[in-house]
Amino acid sequence: MAPTPITSPVPVVWYPTLAVLMLSVGLMVTASFFIYEATSSRINRSLTKELITGAVASFFLGFGSLFLLLATGVYV
């Protein structure tokens, strides 16, 4: 019995689209984080909101960077 090759769960054709979409969302969430930090006073800030916003931005920017590398042929 011959071994089966490892394939991506996401079709290769979707890599550029996913990269643009996820990086765009990540940059928008990052921008909203910076706007929140610049416009809210120190007393009104919420650590929970900051952590959630940072985690969401990190998630989208991380996977967006991954798909950008895959779309350009850098297989990681």
Residue 22 to residue 33: CA distance in whole angstroms? 16
This prediction has a pTM of 0.87
How does pLDDT run along the chain (76 residues), one tens digit per residue?
889 988 889 999 999 999 999 999 999 999 999 999 999 998 999 999 999 999 999 999 999 999 999 999 998 8
Secondary structure (DSSP) of 7-75: --SS-GGGHHHHHHHHHHHHHHHHHHHHHHHHHS-TTT--HHHHHHHHHHHHHHHHHHHHHHHHHTT--
What is the model's pLDDT at position 76?
Answer: 84
